[in-house]
Amino acid sequence: MRRLQIAVLGLVLVTAGGTVGYVLLGFGVLDALYQTVITIATVGYREVRPLDVGGTVFTIVLILVGVGTALYTFGVALEALIEGHLRTHMERRRMDRRIDRMSGHVIICGWGRVGRASAAYLRAAGCEIVVVDRNPERLAGIDHVHVLGDVSEDQTLQAAGIARARALIAALDTDAGNVYVTLSSRALRKDLVIIARASNESSKPKLIRAGANRAVNPARIGGRRMAAFALQPEVAEFLDVVMHDESLEFCIEQVDIGPDSPLAGRSLREAALRESTGVLLLAARTDDGPFLADPPPETRLEPKTVLIAVGTHEQINALRRSAAASAGDPGSARFRRS
């Protein structure tokens, strides 16, 4: 596109220069433009009016400069059309506009098996996604908003809208790559939620030190799930259905207590969540501490307390409205997480 812009600009300048030159030789403006066009295009028409020596010399120079510029411009334009550069550029512009309108989306770095599985879950939860990968073959034909580029470069993350993103999932094939992405993302956004893939257990502490909120080993989680199905298949299937089946009436979700929530500072007994919203509170967690399962009625709901509740979608939404800092608070529309 840069070459095409330069070529078109050069053709416009040559056309303008030829028109001005013929005007100075005594042509009218329209006749001068016509004479310039037929000279550059080499169509073979006769001159609009006879040329003197100066006009002949000027025409020769215009032919040498103009014909070369026109051929170069047409060649670059043809190359762009044949190789799909123009179509790719327009598609990229459309993607950029869509990303510019996004807020609270999740960026998935790496379109492999882990990235695809994460995207499927997020889409089912109604969350907007931006996929980033440097392999054009992986991104060919996907129906998600995507950015083609190296995720280790800041401009690629910025193109994916990291300034407005809710979270980032580093799902590259190598732990070294995920560490680099985590470092770059944390440098750009101090408050961003970063979930990083760890192929080895030894890499999890490194990813946490690099700035990841959570480091996940898919193989370890998969092995635990398989063992759970072997020992307690009904329990494992129930949790799987509740967490992932969108058609089920009940669901398990997390709800954060906002700093200005009417629930902040009150005990569970005073909040009466069961009576007011109908949800069943399974656990609570304060300031990234341990989960308190089946919290007693005396438990205080401090700001940033995370509640794990089960209920219908209407009941969960009622709890979110009570826990939110204010109406329309972004925290009241969090996606479900396992």
Let me know: does 242 contact 294? Beta carbons within 8 Å.
Answer: no
Which band of pLDDT confidence, cut at 50, 70 and 90, is reported for residue 304?
Answer: confident
d(CA 226, CA 222): 6
Q: What number does CATH give the domain 103-221?
A: 3.40.50.720
- What does the pLDDT look like over 246-298, one tens digit per residue? 666 777 888 988 888 888 888 888 888 888 888 889 899 887 778 888 888 88
What pLDDT score was predicted for residue 332? 37
Over range 128-136, report the average pLDDT.
92
Q: Does pLDDT of 123 surpass 60?
A: yes
Q: What is the largest CA-CA distance in the chain?
A: 103
Q: Which of 225, 232, 104 is nearest to 168 (CA)?
A: 104
Let me know: does 224 contact 283? Beta carbons within 8 Å.
Answer: no
What's the per-residue H, E or C state across the chain? CHHHHHHHHHHHHHHHHHHHHHHHCCCCHHHHHHHHHHHHHCCCCCCCCCCCHHHHHHHHHHHHHHHHHHHHHHHHHHHHHHCCHHHHHHHHHHHHHHHHCCCCCEEEECCCHHHHHHHHHHHHCCCCEEEEECCHHHHCCCCCEEEECCCCCHHHHHHCCCCCCCEEEECCCCHHHHHHHHHHHHHHCCCCEEEEECCCHHHHHHHHHHCCCEEECHHHHHHHHHHHHHHCHHHHHHHHHHHHCCCCCEEEEEEECCCCCCCCCEEHHHHCHHHHHCCEEEEEECCCCCCEECCCCCCEECCCCEEEEEEEHHHHHHHHHHHCCCCCCHHHHCCCCC
What pLDDT score was predicted for residue 84? 61
Fold of 2-83: Helix Hairpins (1.10.287)
d(CA 257, CA 307): 8
Q: What percent of the chain has pLDDT over 70?
A: 91
CA distances (Å), 310 to each of 139, 189, 307, in order?
A: 37, 32, 10
d(CA 148, CA 115): 15
What pLDDT score was predicted for residue 245? 64
Residue type, 289: G
Q: Does pLDDT of 26 surpass 70?
A: yes
The end-to-end CA distance of the chain, in Å, is 44
Q: What percent of the chain has pLDDT over 90?
A: 25
Let me know: does 77 contact 10? Beta carbons within 8 Å.
Answer: no
Let me know: does 252 contact 330? Beta carbons within 8 Å.
Answer: no
CA distances (Å), 236 to each of 165, 226, 227, 228, in order?
A: 32, 9, 10, 6
Residue type, 237: E
What pLDDT score was predicted for residue 169? 96
| The pairing of beta strand 300-301 with beta strand 266-267 | antiparallel
**Domain boundary assignment for the chain:** 2-83, 103-221, 233-333
Structure tokens at 136: 């054009």
Let me know: does 36 contact 23? Beta carbons within 8 Å.
Answer: no
Q: Does pLDDT of 327 surpass 70?
A: no
Q: Which residue has the higher pLDDT, 18 or 182?
A: 182
User: At which residue do the structure tokens 């770059």 appear?
Assistant: 184
Which band of pLDDT confidence, cut at 50, 70 and 90, is reported for residue 194?
Answer: very high
Residue type, 166: R
Angle between helical axes of 53-82 and 29-41 (0-180°, round to 10): 60
- What does the pLDDT look like over 48-103, one tens digit per residue? 778 888 888 888 888 888 888 888 888 887 777 766 666 667 777 888 888 999 99
Q: Does pLDDT of 138 surpass 70?
A: yes
Tell whether domain 233-333 is in CATH 3.40.640.10: no
Q: Answer whether 2-83 and 233-333 agree in fold.
A: no
